[in-house]
Amino acid sequence: MNEILINRINDLKKLCEIYKVRTMYAFGSVCTDKFNEKSDIDFLISFDNLSLDQYTDNYFDLHYKLQDLFNRRIDLLTENSLSNPFFIKGIDQTKQLIYAA
């Protein structure tokens, strides 16, 4: 796991608990040796069962908190939003578990 994630793992777990995240994975360049100071950080999450309003609020609030935590661009995807099998396969090749409730 990349040092940038290791150094903030407790903060990430706390955010997941606050925003009712069931699972969180990092994927993409942050999980490879291609990560650099200009790279964004990609996360894949799933939420507990939430109402649509809670889901929307938690998604955007978490997204903003992650950007503040890392001081860089964050791509935040939800498992429910994935449908392209080739994209899913690409994610699966690099993803690393950050949190599981």
Number of domains the chain is built from: 1
Q: What is the mean pLDDT of residues 62-81?
A: 97
- Confidence (pTM): 0.94
pLDDT at 1 over 90: no
DSSP state of 49: S
In which domain, by residue range, is 19 found? 3-100
pLDDT at 54 over 90: yes
Q: How far apart are CA 21 and CA 14, in angstroms?
A: 10
Mean of pLDDT over the chain: 97
pLDDT at 41 over 90: yes
Contact (Cβ atoms closer than 8 angstroms) between residue 33 and residue 8: no
Q: What is the CATH number of the domain that holds 15?
A: 3.30.460.10
